[in-house]
Chains A and B, each alone.
Chain A
Amino acid sequence: MDALEARFEETIAADQRIEPRDWMPEAYRRTLIRQIAQHAHSEIIGMQPEGNWILRAPSLRRKAILLAKVQDEAGHGLYLYSAAETLGVDREELTEKLIESKQKYSSIFNYPTLSYADIGVIGWLVDGAAICNQVPLCRCSYGPYARAMVRICKEESFHQRQGYELLLAMVHGTIAQREMVQESVDRWWWPSLMMFGPPDADSPNSAQSMAWGIKRHTNDELRQRFVDMTVPQAAALGVTLPDPGLRWNDERGAHDYTQPDWDEFKAVLAGSGPCNAQRLAHRRRAHEDGAWVREAAQAYAEKQAARRLKETAA
């Protein structure tokens, strides 16, 4: 082991931060780029299912909240792409990888939003699961990623509260609204559990990521935490989580629950989810349609720089 590597290992062992100019093993860099890019892509693709309801939001207050939330997601994508750029890749390159399916995004966004209750349930369950996954990342060993996550987690917990508040209003509303909430919970519960990734036994990259301090808890630990937190909230809402096997286990001090359908998870990951093709086509279209605008901005900036140079010379 050379001195650089020893210093890296010491930093990790002391639970200190690695910064962009520090030496790091190529595999650590690659893992981080993959994970941060995937996270950034998830924010950007995640704008679509929620954006689907902005124009139809049922009150002006709900419209303002949803519009602000989707705007925050674009902002999160920006911070995360910037964090990835500190590792020597650029946003354009990562976007190309996304639209060519060379990098992934969270599978949850391959499910459709079919009712306004989905906006609330995405806030409650999907953002809730994201928070469970992301709070430990605020202590990730890579400094820029950890700092981006601190900011993002604050906003996520706000989003989650808004989602829950929408559901509270709906369950206290009409029968149709209550039914809409239950139907939405039935659809999103299992995909939400999948957000923590495959069971630990099938998660090949986890051990290395934990050793590097990129990951802090196993998939199953985080999933259990999510289930235990969600059960009392579901009771407070008066909705039923669609798992007949869900019950408190006194011995474990935790809830027993049924595993989601991991075959469905693999299928969605492999591209057969209800919206995989739609989400990517949308992103590709927006990116390609915007090419002439980005080229114009670039050309204008170059002209301006040339003009300034000429003025200085004259």
Chain B
Amino acid sequence: MNTHSHTEEQDATNAYQSLAETVGHDDPRWAFGSGVEDVQAEITSPVPDGVDAGELAQYCLMLGDDALICSHRLSEWVSNAPELEEDVALANIALDLLGQARVLLARAGHVEGGQRDEDALAYLRTEAEFHNVALAELGDGLDFARAIARLLLFSTWRLALLQRLLGSRDPVLAAVAGKGVKEVAYHRDHAARWTVRLGDGTPESHRRMQAALEGVWPYVGELFRTSDVERSLAASGVAVDPADVRDEVDAVLDEVLAAATLTRPQRPAIGTIGGRGGRQGLHTEQLGHVLAEMQSLARQHPGATW
């Protein structure tokens, strides 16, 4: 054994030897990728004047659930992506959205009275208590074109919302938007590049990408359907009326689809049941399966901390 670099090696293994002294949440890097620490202090900010706390909580759940459920679907790709770079990229996008979800859920829990934390909200609500849009929950059956089609629509829409939330009167929404705009701009760019590569790649990839767009397009209509909560909070300068971002989203999509030599699908939008959709807790058949998986372990151990 060479002794001259022995010291260097001992140093490197020291981290290992000091494990036993390690204590839980002392190192901010331990929740890296989540972004929660950045805005932790603001989660407890007071509800802005004249704003209904129940409505604000519900709005935070809408945006938080969109991110959480979409992150879950993206996580399904880990170890399944077409190339390693894509495993890294999709996991990265899933992590960004998970980080956004954690702050938004924590804010919702605080605003509604502080009884439920991010985990109680993620793991102990039933389907009807989730407020995400259907687009977030759709399974893609490990069809990469479907994953890209959904990400393109979702991130184009979410970026348009977040850009307007930069000026929200709620400091937490404004902070989430501040960080989220940069993240989601990257997600949209990533999805747009793949849409172009697949659309203008081989005849097979063109066919698959077009089919994927046809599959997700019926869920676009819901993205611009304004709920009562959104209407009320938009009026008080807290939320965005999603109907207002439609033109911008359409323009971006048209540009991407043209560059990708793809055709904008003409598909009827999925309708509501008695006027209710995702924002009102009425979901597709798929959300129940997502929650069954996501919540299974947490529900098996009530009261446990991890």
Residues of A whose CB lies within 8 Å of any CB of B are 15, 44, 47-48, 51, 54-65, 67-68, 70-71, 74-75, 77-78, 81, 116, 124, 128, 131-132, 135-136, 138-139, 153, 157-158, 160-162, 164-166, 168-170, 173-174, 176-177, 216-217, 229, 232-233, 236, 282, 286, 289-300, 303
Chain B residues near A (Cβ < 8 Å): 1-2, 4-5, 8-9, 12-13, 15-17, 19-20, 22-24, 29-34, 36, 68, 72, 75-76, 78-88, 91-92, 94-95, 98-99, 101-102, 105, 118-119, 122-123, 142, 144, 196-198, 200-202, 204-205, 208, 293-294, 296-298, 301, 303-306
Known: A56-B297, A59-B298, A229-B16. A71 touches B201 (CB 8 A): no
Contact B16 A15 (CB under 8 A): no
Select B33's contact among A58, A67, A135, A166, beta carbons within 8 Å: A67
| A139, B197: Cα distance in complex, Å | 41
Q: When the two chains form their complex, are residues B88 and A74 in contact, meaning their CB atoms are under 8 A apart? A: yes
How distant is A40 from chain B, measured CB to nearest CB, in Å? Answer: 9
Assess A169 versus B303: contact at CB under 8 Å? Given A54-B78, A297-B197.
Answer: no
Beyond A47-B87, A293-B198, whether A58 also contacts B301 by CB under 8 A is yes
Given contacts A67-B95, A162-B30, contact A295 B201 (CB under 8 A): yes
Are A168 and B22 touching (Cβ within 8 A)?
yes
A64-B33, A74-B87, A286-B82 known; 11 new pairs, CB 8 Å cut-off, are A55-B72, A58-B304, A60-B34, A60-B118, A68-B91, A71-B88, A78-B84, A139-B9, A177-B304, A293-B83, A300-B201
Return chain B residues, CB-CB under 8 Å to A128.
16
Check A60/B119 contact, CB under 8 A, given A165-B30, A300-B201. Answer: yes
B34→A61 contact, CB < 8 A:
yes
Residues in A neighbouring B68, C-beta threshold 8 A: 60
CA distance A292 to B75 in the complex (A): 21
B306 touches A166 (CB 8 A): yes
Interface of A (DSSP majority class): helix
20 pairs across A/B with beta carbons < 8 Å? A54-B75, A54-B78, A59-B119, A60-B68, A67-B33, A70-B78, A74-B88, A77-B84, A136-B9, A153-B12, A157-B15, A174-B301, A216-B2, A282-B79, A289-B142, A293-B144, A295-B201, A295-B205, A298-B201, A303-B200
Q: Which residues from B are CB-within-8-Å of A158?
A: 29
Residues in A with CB closer than 8 Å to B80 are 282, 286, 289
Chain A residues whose CB sits within 8 angstroms of the CB of B99 once the complex forms: 64
C-alpha spacing A191/B94, complex, angstroms: 32
User: Which A-B residue pairs are the 8 nearest by beta carbons?
Assistant: A290-B82, A296-B201, A296-B205, A293-B82, A71-B91, A236-B20, A74-B87, A47-B79
Contact assessment for B34 and A299 in the assembled complex, using a CB-CB cutoff below 8 Å? no
Choose from B23, B79, B298 the contact partner of A48 (Cβ within 8 Å). B79
* In the bound complex, CA of A303 to CA of B19 (Å): 53
What residue of chain B has the Cβ atom nearest to residue A116's Cβ?
Answer: B297
| Contact, CB under 8 Å: A160 / B16 | yes
Q: How far is the CB of A213 from chain B (nearest CB, A)?
A: 9
Q: Whole-angstrom distance between the alpha carbons of A232 and B197 in the complex? A: 54
Closest to B145 in A: A293
CB-CB < 8 A to A74: which residues of B? 78, 84, 87-88, 91
Contacting residues, chain B, for A236 (C-beta < 8 A): 20
Residues of A within 8 A of B122 (CB): 60
Closest CB of chain A to B25's CB: distance in Å?
A: 9
Residues from chain A with a CB closer than 8 A to the CB of B1 are 216-217
Contacting pair B79 A173 (CB below 8 A): no
> Measured between alpha carbons, how far is A51 from B81 in the docked complex, in Å?
13
Name the B residues within 8 Å of A132 (CB-CB): 13, 16
Which partner residue on chain B sits nearest A236 by CB separation? B20
Cross-chain contact B83 with A294 (CB below 8 angstroms)? yes
Residues in A neighbouring B83, C-beta threshold 8 A: 290, 293-294
Closest to A293 in B: B82
Q: Residues of B contacting A233 with CB < 8 Å?
A: 19-20
Contacts of B4 in A (CB 8 A): 15
Do A60 and B201 form a contact, CB below 8 Å, given A71-B78, A78-B84, A165-B30? Answer: no
B84 surroundings in chain A (CB, below 8 A): 44, 74, 77-78, 81
Min CB–CB distance B240 → chain A (angstroms)? 25
From the candidates B13, B91, B196, name the one contacting A67 in the complex (CB within 8 A): B91
Q: Which residues of B contact A157 (CB under 8 A)?
A: 12, 15-16
Output the nearest chain A residue to B31 by Cβ-Cβ distance.
A61
Q: B79 is contacted by which of A51, A135, A136, A298 (Cβ under 8 Å)?
A: A51
Q: Given that A139-B9, A294-B83 are contacting pairs, would A173 and B202 also be in contact in the complex, using a CB cutoff of 8 Å?
A: no
Chain B residue at minimal CB-CB distance from A286: B80
Separation of A300 and B76 alpha carbons in the complex (Å): 27
* B117 CB → nearest A CB, Å: 9
Q: Which of these, B34, B87, B142, B298, contacts A58 with CB under 8 Å?
A: B298
Task: Return chain B residues, CB-CB under 8 Å to A153.
Answer: 12
Please, which residue of chain A has its CB at the minimum distance from the CB of B9?
A135
A164 to B122, CA, bound (A): 25
With A67-B33, A77-B84, A131-B16 as contacts: A55 and B294 at CB distance below 8 Å: yes
Residues of B within 8 A of A295 (CB): 201-202, 204-205
Rounded to whole angstroms, the CA-CA distance of A78 and B85 in the bound complex is 8
Q: When the two chains form their complex, are residues A139 and B5 in contact, meaning their CB atoms are under 8 A apart? A: yes
Bound form: Cα–Cα A103–B104 in Å = 46
